[in-house]
Chains A and B, each alone.
Chain A
């Protein structure tokens, strides 16, 4: 692995940040990198993955990444995630290499580090961006806001342009080539001390929301009249080999846990089939599922946004249609026995 001085780092590039944890780049960082490629290609700039780890990484974890370069920083003190040190290193690198843009995945690490960098360097930072566009050399960042059907298009007056990118919003690009891997030489006197002592207590069983890679998603909204009715979706999901999703109001009601929330502050899904039961389709939710291959809406309201965007809309009471469907499925199973 080649080691280079900081002065040799390409200036003005499009950077995407990611921590290496357990020797791997996470799914969401790969998505962010793919989004960065869009911008890098449009602006004809170098795309680099800026990556930190406690130990020297395996070269193989960077194969076929859609980046031109990987700049990585290795130091023992990066074995635990200390927000202050990670931000400090990134701030130092940004000052040295003055990238054009710095993107993060809107995961826990990105959301912890990006604002610290923005705060210290007085930079504009856009959150949960789910669409990027380059127009006349300017980067435009799209994000839904205020919950209902409102999209804001933002830009940054400062450089680098900073944004956290919504998980699941950008498809992962696969390329034949692999990036050049360069280890950065940090100065001797660099302060690696953290105000924090971090200790891992436990690892929870599930890695990410079960929705992220689901091929079939059945989702429920306020049109399901009760928690009991909503819970029948789990039965349907099991039959179809899919997962259950929900809208924000339903999660806040406590009908289901928040990791099932599809939308701006939840998860973005791209299943082959999405069925929305009793969901009106507030933008807050639809941005999280609009890239589904085939969308079915079951709703009593013909004018509902989800009905209008659906490939197939069934106008009826969601709970009753669900019940009937479950019965038909059981009958089909009996028949095939």
Chain B
């Protein structure tokens, strides 16, 4: 087995993004990015495949230049190579434009056996990029996957879909969106952390991946943000202060009034 590709994303620390009330644009309190937590699940399954079948794990990420730290963190979970897709032209991309960039980069990395991604990112939470990327690549996609096996010819993955657990088998390649609810994800390895310090990150821009300008950034993004706002709140009902016991009594009163407690 040659290589598996894992796509990861750097996301802002939860709570560090606010809306500027005047310009209605997003303001980031800090430029610190963290590795999107669901991506660890993709990295875990990639590490398992590498342990069993001895392939290379290549990490790619579309992000700003300061996403370096995120790539090195992803590397420490058992990867062999890091590629950062960075270009001014990528700014303002929605999921379709992002998937297009990833697809172009993935094609450049042929041959590969499988593409793994976390099923969603904690900032956008659209969960669309894995399947959109697969569609652009002309590859099948599966989501909700929590186990991957390879028997030499075919892949067998287990996925959660609705109230079912299903086995999906296929030969050939696919894009797998890994379930964020894996019961165990390994920690980074000391050897890999130390290795990552000196390891070079390959940077590709739009030209390097033969990207068509009109499919990038804002112009390549058919979903458009009309407005963003921070929700205004007006005081609604009664406010009562007091000792926990008296507050509990008031609550009991309401429960009886609404006949929830008889």
Binding site for B on A (CB under 8 A): 21, 26, 80-81, 83-84, 87, 107-109, 111-120, 122-128, 140, 145-158, 194-204, 206-208, 216, 239-242, 252, 258, 264-265, 272-273, 275, 283, 286, 294-296, 298, 302, 305, 307-317, 320-325, 327-329, 332
Contacts and interface: CB of A to CB of B under 8 A. Distances in A.
Contact of B127 (A111, A149, A329): A111
Given A315-B241, A329-B261, A199 B167 contact: yes
Given A111-B131, A123-B96, 10 more contacts: A112-B142, A124-B94, A146-B26, A147-B15, A198-B166, A207-B163, A305-B231, A315-B240, A315-B242, A316-B244
A127 to B, nearest CB: 4
A158 B215 CA distance: 13
B132 A204 contact: no
Interface in B148-166: 158, 160-166
Interface residues of B, number: 83
A208 B26 CA distance: 35
A206 B165 CA distance: 12
Nearest to A84: B140
Residue from A87, A321, A327 having most chain B Cβ neighbours under 10 A? A321
Contacts of B234: 308
B181 A126 contact: no
B123 A146 contact: yes
A125 B244 contact: no
Contact of B225 (A108, A118, A152, A241): A152
Interface in B11-25: 12, 14-15, 17-19
A198 B168 contact: yes
B140 A196 contact: yes
Interface of B: 12, 14-15, 17-19, 26, 37, 94-96, 99, 120, 122-136, 140-144, 158, 160-170, 172, 174, 181, 221-231, 233-245, 247-252, 254-255, 258, 260-261
A267 B223 CA distance: 24
Given A108-B144, A128-B126, A312 B238 contact: yes
Nearest to B173: A195
The DSSP consensus for interface residues of chain A is mixed
A60 B213 CA distance: 51
A147 B230 contact: no
B38 to A, nearest CB: 10
Contact of B258 (A84, A151, A294): A294
Given A127-B128, A201-B158, A196 B142 contact: yes
13 contacts: A114-B128, A116-B131, A116-B135, A119-B99, A123-B222, A124-B96, A128-B125, A147-B15, A155-B224, A200-B165, A200-B166, A294-B258, A325-B248
Nearest to B139: A195
A119 B134 contact: yes
A334 to B, nearest CB: 14
Contacts of B158: 201
